Amino acid sequence: MFQLTKAYLESISTKQSYARGMSYYLIGEVLNVVQKGDTFEAKVSGSVTYKVSITLNDKGMSASNCTCPYDWGGVCKHIVAVGLAIANNDFEKDNNYISSERFFKQLYPYISDEQKIAFLTEILQNDGFKRSEILKFAGIKGGRIPASLSGEANGNIDIDDLATQIGAEIYDMASSYKDIEDDDEEENAETLDSEIADTINEYFTTYNPQLNNLHFVNGFKAMIAIYESPYCIPNIRTLSAYNNEIINYNTSEIIASIWADQLPDLILNAPKTEQDLIQCCDILAERLEKRRHEVKHYHLDNWLPVIEALLPEAHTAAYLLEALRRRNLDGSNAANLLLLLSDLSGQLDYWLQIAEREASTNINIALRLFDRYLSTQARDKQLRIAQLLFDKFPQNQQNIYCHIYRPTIIASYF
């Protein structure tokens, strides 16, 4: 059997995937690596747990599979992480595993189609990883009907309908649980979180290929629907109000982790036209306006890495900024998004206007404003913001002092 090496893993992955995979391995996120013949199975933990399988022959990896949505540029970071575990003999052998390939080949033709279907159905009903494998084997990514087969590849995705569909599926899943706030129900809560994560990942995997298949706008609409799905989960009568809040919050956190981990790279590498970007700006502004009246907390900060990947050019960032301002979406909850767009579009005056407005209530923005004035050598403004920081955030004085420490600044203040 081929002996995996770091050099081999580097050769079949991108530089970024290899670095991230190495990090996962070193911090102990690779779990339960088991060798079964020529195949190794493992889990890679994080905000979401992914299942990985690697099969080796005499020349290298003959097959590899991961349940994450990664689908560009070599193997994913999770496969790299498991590969590093194998390379370092960091695995256990399943001594009960018996390879019966020759025996199987002799008897398989004598098994009826009905028996094969019944056996396969039983396996797929009890193993989500196998379901993912057979769909990928058939060229279908994700656990649902691909958008290309369901008529959604031609710009027909309705954001509200898809968000409601996902919310309903999570509702059905959570309705089977009793209250999950007691200590005795901790295992139920973890199981539910895992099931929700699997569901969100399957939707993400189903629709993200559209971003790369000349249906960028439609894929972007699907991503918005996934993001909004927690706001579409009906109230579960069998659970307390507290538990309902937990489910909504946890679902939002799961989606936010996928946003940070997967979506920016997807968007950055996807083929798209300037008209696609303009359309996406309009769609996003419309959704933010709609949700502003319907949802108490629509966490715009989760969109920052996505927007940065979506709008690298100054004029497209300026277009979205103007679209938000035109709809009066320039309140405090959008401050970080407005600052990002101002930076990307080179609108320094507007950046300063927003930062000055928010500095007295947001310590992070106040510190960024101090740094901006420091870079422009505006001494009087540096002193004013330094004084504001110490006055408005007395509980953070040590951190403030460490951040803004300049002997002349501190001396002038005191």
Rounded to whole angstroms, the Cα distance separating 37 from 98 reads 7
**Domain hosting residue 29, numbered range:** 6-137
Where do we find the tokens 């004084």?
387
Residue 402 resides in a domain: no
Rounded to whole angstroms, the Cα distance separating 266 from 71 reads 9
CA distances, 193 to each of 28, 200, 401 (Å): 21, 11, 40
User: Looking at residue 127, what is its pLDDT?
Assistant: 63
Rounded to whole angstroms, the Cα distance separating 148 from 146 reads 5
CB under 8 Å to 361, separation ≥6 — which residues? 332, 392
Rounded to whole angstroms, the Cα distance separating 92 from 147 reads 40
Count of all residues that appear for the chain in the document: 414
pTM of the model: 0.60
Token pair for 331: 């309140």
Rounded to whole angstroms, the Cα distance separating 197 from 254 reads 6
CB under 8 Å to 412, separation ≥6 — which residues? 383
Crossing angle (nearest 10°) for helices 159-175 and 216-228: 40
- Classified as helix, coil or strand, 320 is helix
Residue 188 resides in a domain: no
Q: Are 259 and 305 in contact (CB under 8 A)?
A: yes
Residue type, 42: A
User: Looking at residue 345, what is its pLDDT?
Assistant: 93
User: Looking at residue 238, what is its pLDDT?
Assistant: 61
Token pair for 194: 């895992």
Write the DSSP assignment of 359-387 as a string of letters. Answer: TTT-HHHHHHHHHHHHHTT-HHHHHHHHH
User: Looking at residue 266, what is its pLDDT?
Assistant: 84
Token pair for 141: 């990514």
Residue 36 resides in a domain: yes
Residue 394 resides in a domain: no
Residue 264 resides in a domain: no
User: Looking at residue 7, what is its pLDDT?
Assistant: 93
Residue 196 resides in a domain: no
Report how many domains make up the chain.
Answer: 1
Residue 24 resides in a domain: yes
User: Looking at residue 53, what is its pLDDT?
Assistant: 93
The Cβ-side half-sphere exposure at 181, using a 13 Å CA radius, reads: 10
Token pair for 93: 């052998």
Rounded to whole angstroms, the Cα distance separating 138 from 201 reads 19
User: Looking at residue 253, what is its pLDDT?
Assistant: 83
User: Looking at residue 342, what is its pLDDT?
Assistant: 94
Phi, psi of 385 (to 5 degrees): -70, -35
Rounded to whole angstroms, the Cα distance separating 156 from 159 reads 9
Tell whether the torsion through CA atoms of 211, 234, 298 and 279 is positive or negative.
positive
CB under 8 Å to 316, separation ≥6 — which residues? 274, 277, 278, 281, 310
Task: Profile the chain (414 residues) by mean pLDDT over runs of 10 residues.
Answer: 90 90 91 90 83 91 86 86 94 74 72 86 69 62 45 65 86 66 55 82 81 80 89 72 75 81 84 90 89 64 85 90 89 87 93 94 92 85 90 86 63 51
Residue 23 resides in a domain: yes
Could you tell me which of 171, 271, 219 has the C-alpha nearest to residue 69? 219
Write the DSSP assignment of 189-228 as a string of letters. Answer: HHHHHHHHHHHHHHHHHHHTHHHHTT-HHHHHHHHHHHHH
